[in-house]
Amino acid sequence: MTMNNKTDRRDFIKKTLFTAGALTIVPRHVLGGPGFTAPSDKISFGYIGTGKQIRTLLDNFIKLPEVKVLAAADVDSKKLARFKGWVETYYSEDSLQKKYKCCDTYGDYRELLGRKDIDAVVVATPDHWHAIQSIDALNAGKDVYCEKPLAHTIEEGRAIVNATRNNGRVLQTGSMQRSWRDFRKACELVRNGYIGEISKVLVNVGGPGLFCDLPEQPQPGYLDWNAWVGPAVWRPYNAVLSPPIEDDGWPMWRNYMAYGGGILADWGAHMFDIAQWGLGMDDSGPVRIIPPAERLAKWGVTFVYANGVEMVHEDFGRGYAVRFIGSEGTLDVSRSFLDSNPENIVTAALAATDVRLYHSDNHYKDFTDSIRDRTQPVADVEIGHRSATICSLGNIAYHLARPLEWDPEMEQFKDDAVANRLRSKAYREGYKLG
């Protein structure tokens, strides 16, 4: 079922999926004046993973008056202590938070999930941990904000969707571009035919995942490396995968298939997500995936939808961006531009009868609003799963180097046992979903 605006989605879900697990909220206006948020009106947060992305995730949530951060978990004790310091410093400087005690920390995320006073968790660990931790949180009755890509494999993504629905929970995927004006406007223009009939979409992001061959390095004492590897196949420590706190760069575990999906998945979860949104394919996907002729190519995989539209992983010279190609023109969108050829397409005002997409201007507030209303957020779990699936399909096609037939409804490759095995992965002994 396709929802064209936020109001319809909220009304629909209120009547269906989220009847269980609603918070008991005392309206803030009853207990205090303007700007006051009563303790009973708070959503208590815990964070799982406190690495590079966490400062953005902390700053955006902790500033919301309805949020209180109570705890965090990480296998790196230095990063965990830094996070604790940030939280406690913030609350010590907030005149309305004088009764705040402390941010509790845990080396094992399961201890955090065992707390009854935590309503929602933020999962910001490497991709290979997303599914297990998100599903454990959902089964523990928590709402979840999970970084993108939502899952490491196609079967993991579907398992997260099922756990979200079965537990009556809210899950927001960290595809925050859905809450940016230019991306929404681009997709509305495309969906309403302002560039005519779509024939092709170009998506430029980095290359596919690699097999890890990093050498062993001495393991630091502050890091529980065995827990960092977790469900993945065991390999010795290397700082490229989990850099020390002094290294402020992006950790490059994301390059390797054992832990991520290359930049194809890392940025693809953003840009393929926008392509899917513009094409109206949030609950579906392509039916054919064609790899480039060159065996070791890093660009060139083509996704073909049932209506004949092609989406191509291609560098078209404008950085990480999306180009929609229609019969009446083209439209390009990225984090730094929204433009078109002819130029007047992007300046057009939408008509009153045009389809409007879910309107969110704050990805983090949209999550907390959805928790309160028990509604689907702008980057709901199904959307996150479908966008992550595109990334997985691309990696599988690059790896196998042959055309693949995909059934987006059954989420299976047609008559291809080898490709179907790649929809999932083997977990190290002692780990499982749920």
What digits encode the pLDDT tens for the residues 269-309?
999 999 999 999 999 999 999 999 998 899 999 999 999 99
Q: What is the mean pLDDT of residues 235-245?
A: 98
24-40 tens-digit pLDDT: 333 333 334 444 445 56
| CATH fold for domain 6-177 | Rossmann fold (3.40.50)
Q: What is the pLDDT of residue 32?
A: 40
**Whole-number percent of the chain with pLDDT over 70:** 90
Residue 3 has pLDDT above 80, yes or no: no
Q: What is the pLDDT of residue 8?
A: 54
Q: What is the pLDDT of residue 180?
A: 98
Residue 131 has pLDDT above 90, yes or no: yes
Domain regions of the chain by residue span: 6-177
**Whole-number percent of the chain with pLDDT over 90:** 88
294-304 tens-digit pLDDT: 988 999 999 99
Q: What is the pLDDT of residue 18?
A: 45
Q: What is the pLDDT of residue 87?
A: 97
142-151 tens-digit pLDDT: 999 999 999 9
With helix as H, strand as E and coil as C, how does the chain read?
Answer: CCCCCHHHHHHHHHCCCCCCCCCCCCCHHHHCCCCCCCHHHCEEEEEECCCCCHHHHHHHHHCCCCEEEEEEECCEHHHHHHHHHHHHHHHHCCHHHCCCCCCEEECCHHHHHCCCCCCEEEECCCHHHHHHHHHHHHHCCCEEEECCCCCCCHHHHHHHHHHHHHCCCCEEECCHHHHCHHHHHHHHHHHCCCCCCEEEEEEECCCCCECCCCCCCCCCCCECHHHHHCCCCCCCCCCCCCCCCCCCCCCHHHHECCCCCHHHHHCHHHHHHHHHHHHCCCCCCCCEEECCCCCCCCCCCEEECCCCCEEEECCCCCCCEEEEEECCEEEEECCCCEEEECHHHCCCCCCCCCCCCCCCCCHHHHHHHHHHHCCCCCCEHHHHHHHHHHHHHHHHHHHHCCCEEEECCCCEECCCHHHHHCCCCCCCCCCCCC
Residue 122 has pLDDT above 70, yes or no: yes
Q: What is the pLDDT of residue 99?
A: 76
Q: How far is CA 133 from the centre of its chain?
A: 14
CB 107 within 8 A of CB 143: no
Q: What is the pLDDT of residue 27?
A: 38
| Dihedral, CA of residue 89, residue 90, residue 94 and residue 96, to nearest 10 | -110
Q: What is the pLDDT of residue 398?
A: 98
Q: What is the mean pLDDT of residues 181-204?
A: 98
**Band (94; pLDDT cuts 50, 70, 90):** confident
**Band (41; pLDDT cuts 50, 70, 90):** confident
Residue 345 has pLDDT above 70, yes or no: yes
Angle formed by the axes of helices 381-400 and 268-279, to 10°? 110
Structure pTM? 0.91
Residue 14 has pLDDT above 80, yes or no: no
Of residues 296, 210, 197, the one with CA closest to residue 253: 210
Residue 241 has pLDDT above 50, yes or no: yes
CB 49 within 8 A of CB 123: yes
Residue 264 has pLDDT above 70, yes or no: yes
Phi, psi of 394 (to 5 degrees): -65, -45
Q: What is the mean pLDDT of the chain?
A: 92
More confident residue, 10 or 362: 362
Q: What is the mean pLDDT of residues 80-102?
A: 88
